[in-house]
Amino acid sequence: MGVELPLLSAVIARLADPKIHLAAFGGVVFPLSLLIEAPIIMLLAASTALSKNWASYVLLRRLMSQSAVALTAIHVLIAFTPLYDALVSTLLAVPEKIIEPARIGLQLMTPWTAAIAIRRFQQGVLIRFGQSKVVIMGTAVRLATNVFFLTAGYAGKFPGIVVATSALAAGVTAEAIMVNVRVQPLLREIHRNESPDDTCLSMRQLLVFYLPLALTPILTLLALPIGSAALSRMPHALESLAVLPVVMGLSFLIRSPGLAYHEVVVTLIGQPGAAHSLRRFTVLLATVTSSLLLLITITPLAPLWFGKISGLSPTLTSIATTGLWFAVLMPALTALESWYQGVMVYSGRTGSIAQSVAVYLLISSVILGLGIIHGQITGLYISLAATLIGFFMQTLWLHVQSQPTLRRLFTTPTAAT
């Protein structure tokens, strides 16, 4: 999945008006789409942790369905009504050139939220019952669909924002359909093995568990439109908005193993000997991923990636290459965050996760505000610095909050290797 954003950016950069369409995609469409779907992002972790039997699955499915309908309605309301102008033109105050392309892109992204909800919910069930290979197959279907739409759009010379958002929406929809079909035999087996003694959370208990998880990505992704609004008020706004998705796309590609590690921790942490093994792997994953991004940053690989592969102009390539230095530690922090978040989900203390993201949002917003007040530094650099420092403080908060659970895991007999 980490390949997706760099692929989209590379195609947009090779079509007409790349700076405008990259800025529309990275500064408006993608941040708003992610923010709208934020409440259902943690369905993967919840489904992995709670889909223990048929009764629990049905309860979670009800929550997923209701959330998908409500959030899709919000997406439609923003994309197709005057609310868009109030939000994008007035509140975000993005450069006028990108307002209409972004409107079209957001409208094309309408299926995104419901598809994400179905995909992440059913993926959690597959992971819970040891069928993670199907998840990989779903990702392959998604990328193949991306490539098909990107190729067709590029050949037809359609506007970059249309090509990118169509590919993104179609890809995740195809993946959701594939995963939903492949999970059905497993669901029939779970239903057949249903027992009257199976315990199930009530809806109230589920909400107590899930609402802090849902709040976590909402707060995290709220930083994206805040960042776009801040970038629009700092020097080199259009260039920064255009380059940000390309830099973050490369960072996301390297961070992907760390992001996926969260579900691994949730699934395995309670098994005998797992805590020690997972901690060692966390250190290894953090070291390897950040070292890889550092290698790209300090060698000609960065200009090669941004200039030749991503197709940025020399000016944008220079800005992106400098900005990449701020992202070097993000893969390591991602691995650590997934480790600590997995421990907190296992212990049921999901409120601490939401608190950590509030710390991130507060710190990053203060830095962005200072960048606007100073008004002399390219917005991209302020945005990436705010993200890095906020992310570090978030991880530190999780580290502190997870210590009681980790001490218990490492001192119980089942934790011994």
Contact 394, 336 (CB under 8 A): no
Give the three-class secondary structure for 97: helix
Lowest mean pLDDT among 39-43, 292-296, 408-412: 408-412
Residues counted in the chain: 417
pLDDT at 270 (0 to 100): 81
Task: Kindly state the average pLDDT of the residues 380-408.
Answer: 93
Q: How far apart are CA 157 and CA 149, in angstroms?
A: 12
Q: How far apart are CA 228 and CA 245, in angstroms?
A: 11
pLDDT confidence of 417, banded at 50, 70, 90? very low
pLDDT(151) > 50: yes
DSSP secondary structure string, 9-48? HHHHTTSSSHHHHHHHIIIIIHHHHHHHHHHHHTHHHHHH
Condensed to tens digits (0 to 9), the pLDDT of residues 113-137 reads: 999 999 999 998 998 888 888 988 9
Q: How far apart are CA 304 and CA 112, in angstroms?
A: 32
pLDDT(1) > 70: no
Task: Kindly state the average pLDDT of the residues 148-171.
Answer: 95
Q: How far apart are CA 386 and CA 374, in angstroms?
A: 14
Ramachandran region of residue 272, left (φ > 0), alpha (ψ -120 to 50) or beta?
beta
Condensed to tens digits (0 to 9), the pLDDT of residues 11-36 reads: 998 999 999 999 999 889 998 998 89
pLDDT(409) > 90: no
| Residue with tokens 């600590």, as numbered in its chain | 340
Domain boundaries, the chain: 1-194, 203-417
Lowest mean pLDDT among 98-102, 103-107, 265-269, 409-413: 409-413
Q: How far apart are CA 146 and CA 277, in angstroms?
A: 36
- The token duo for 308 is 């030749």
Give the three-class secondary structure for 335: helix
Condensed to tens digits (0 to 9), the pLDDT of residues 60-98 reads: 999 999 999 999 999 999 999 999 999 998 888 888 999
Condensed to tens digits (0 to 9), the pLDDT of residues 173-220 reads: 999 999 999 999 999 998 888 776 666 677 777 887 788 777 777 777
pLDDT at 196 (0 to 100): 66
Task: Kindly state the average pLDDT of the residues 258-262.
Answer: 86
Summary mean pLDDT of the chain: 89
Dihedral of the CA atoms 295, 390, 397, 361 (nearest 10)?
Answer: -140
Q: Is the dihedral of CA 374, 376, 380, 385 positive or negative?
A: negative
Q: At a CB cut-off of 8 Å and minimum separation 6, what does 26 contact?
A: 9, 241, 242, 244, 245, 246, 248
Condensed to tens digits (0 to 9), the pLDDT of residues 333-355 reads: 999 999 999 898 888 787 888 88
Task: Kindly state the average pLDDT of the residues 299-326.
Answer: 93
pLDDT at 2 (0 to 100): 65
Q: How far apart are CA 67 and CA 180, in angstroms?
A: 17
pLDDT at 199 (0 to 100): 65
Cβ of 198: how many Cβ atoms within 10 Å? 12
Q: At a CB cut-off of 8 Å and minimum separation 6, what does 108 contact?
A: 162, 165, 166, 169
Lowest mean pLDDT among 84-88, 93-97, 263-267, 323-327: 263-267
Condensed to tens digits (0 to 9), the pLDDT of residues 218-249 reads: 777 777 788 888 888 999 988 998 898 889 88
Give the three-class secondary structure for 254: helix
| Residue with tokens 């997870």, as numbered in its chain | 402
Supply the pTM of this predicted model: 0.72
- CA separation, residue 361 to residues 84, 162, 210, 241, 314 (Å): 24, 31, 20, 19, 33
DSSP-derived letter for residue 413 is: G
More confident residue, 263 or 240: 240
Q: At a CB cut-off of 8 Å and minimum separation 6, what does 116 contact?
A: 37, 40, 41, 172, 176
Q: How far apart are CA 161 and CA 233, in angstroms?
A: 23
Q: At a CB cut-off of 8 Å and minimum separation 6, what does 394 contact?
A: 337, 356, 357, 359, 360
pLDDT at 145 (0 to 100): 96
The H or E element containing residue 396 is helix 379-411
More confident residue, 389 or 229: 389
Q: Is the dihedral of CA 227, 110, 9, 177 positive or negative?
A: positive
Give the three-class secondary structure for 53: coil
pLDDT(415) > 50: no
pLDDT(310) > 70: yes
Contact 84, 99 (CB under 8 A): no
Residue type, 64: M
pLDDT at 348 (0 to 100): 78
Helix residue ranges per DSSP H, 51-155:
54-80, 83-84, 99-108, 112-128, 132-155
pLDDT(306) > 90: yes
